[in-house]
Amino acid sequence: MSGTVLDDIELIIEDVHGHNGGKPPSRDGDDGGGDDGGRDGNSPEPRGHGSRKYSTAVAVAMLSIVMFFMVLTAAFLVLRTEPQNLHTWAGIRLPRILWLNTCLLMASSATLELARRRLSMDESRGFHRMWALTTALGGLFVVGQVIAWRQLAAQGVYETSRMASGFFYVFTVLHAVHLLGGLCALLYVGWHKLDASRIGRPLAVEVASYYWHFMDGLWLFLLALLYFGQ
């Protein structure tokens, strides 16, 4: 008897691949976790094979990046406020080009939003122009950071000189590394022929923009930390 019923169930499993002719149950509603509930939803299909997974993945990755930089920030604050460092901390004078770099990065965020607007209005040429400008501004920011490091080195301020300079190099280099990842994403999304069945350009642009704005915010935070922490 049990074998027969099990066989029946296994045969039904062949049909488990479908919706048994009925309306598919919702994936998101609260059904009470019990038997047979949740059949009134209208989720058309599991989203993992759709669009939202990329947004989720970037959001989750940003959480880890936040944690990473928070630990570096905590290290800075702990060492900065150590009793032996409190009054003897030798800060560094931030290179002026950092302010210009900051403006470039902020401008890149603005142009990125303009690019998104062009895309939503179906202006392909306008989108590509603004996207290229965003990428160029991002690239200029990285070049500007390199110039800042060279200026500091010219003044004899190296990563080994003092604790403050060590933190300056660590923060700025690690931020630049993360930003280079964002630049790669901009280049890929802007000029690579995307497989529309997996991810359309509007979504790719949206996901890339989240990361880029996040890098902007992160830089503002690090700059404030370096400025006020000296």
Partner 1 sequence: MLRCGHKQTGLRYLWLALFSVVLGMALSVAMRVQMARAGSSPASEHYAVVTLLHGSLMVFFVLTSAPQFGFGYFFLPLQIGANEMALPLLSGLSFWLTLAALVGIAGSSLLPLRLGMEVWLFAVICFCFAAILSSVNFCTTVTDARTYGMTLTRLPLTVWAWYVTAVLSLLIFGILLAACALLTSDWFFGTQFFAGGQVHSNVALAALWQRWFWFFAQAEVYAAMLPCFGIVSHLIATFARRPVFAERAAVLALCGVGVVGFCVWGLHMFSSALNPYSPLVFAQLAGSLGIPASVLLASWLLTLWGSEVRLTTAMLFAVGFISLFLTGGLSGLFLASRDVAVAAASTDFVTGHFHLVMGVAATFAILGALFFWFPKLFGRPMNETLGKTHFWITFAGVYCIFMPMHWLGLLDRARGGVPGVSAGGAARTFITTAAMITIAAQVIFLVNFLSSVWRKEPSTNRNPWHATTLEWFLPSPVPADDFGNRPPCIYRSAYMYGERLGGLDFLPQHVSPEQLAKLR
For the chain, how big is the Rg over CA atoms in Å? 25
Question: Which range, of 78-86, 91-99, 190-198, 199-207, touches partner 1 by CB under 8 A?
Answer: 78-86
Indicate which single residue of 63, 121, 146, 224 sits in contact with partner 1 (rule: CB under 8 A): 63
DSSP 82: S
- Interface with partner 1: number of residues (CB under 8 A): 68
Count CB atoms within 10 A of the CB of residue 86: 9
Find out whether 101 and 143 touch, Cβ atoms under 8 Å: no
Which 3 state secondary structure label does DSSP give 16? coil
Contact call for residue 163 and partner 1 (CB under 8 A): yes
Q: What is the DSSP string of 20-47?
A: TTSPPPPSSS--TTSSS---S----S-G
- Closer residue to partner 1 (CB): 90 or 220: 90
Residue 176 Cβ vs partner 1, minimum distance, rounded to whole Å:
13
Among 131, 141, 149, 169, binds partner 1 (CB under 8 A): 169
Q: Which stretch binds partner 1 (CB under 8 A): 114-122, 140-148, 165-173, 193-201?
A: 165-173
Does residue 88 bind partner 1 (CB under 8 A)? no
Q: Which of 94, 110, 133, 174 binds partner 1 (CB under 8 A)?
A: 174
Nearer to partner 1, 59 or 220 (CB): 59
Q: Does residue number 43 form part of the binding site for partner 1 (CB under 8 A)?
A: yes
CB 211 within 8 A of CB 192: no
From candidates 69, 89, 210, 221, binder to partner 1 by CB under 8 A: 69
Between the alpha carbon of residue 176 and those of residues 103, 138, 196, the distances in Å are 15, 10, 31
167, 90 contact by CB (below 8 A): no
**Tokens 């190099």 -> residue:** 169
* Nearer to partner 1 among residue 33 and residue 228 (C-beta): 33
What is the CA 101 to chain-centroid distance, rounded?
20
> What are the DSSP E strand ranges found in the chain?
none
Q: Which two tokens stand for residue 147?
A: 């110039």
**Contact positions with partner 1 (CB under 8 A) in 11-40:** 12-13, 15-20, 22, 24-39
Binding site for partner 1 (CB under 8 A): 1-6, 8-10, 12-13, 15-20, 22, 24-39, 41, 43, 45-50, 52-53, 56-57, 60-61, 63-65, 67-69, 71-72, 75, 78-79, 82, 84, 159-160, 163, 166, 169-170, 174
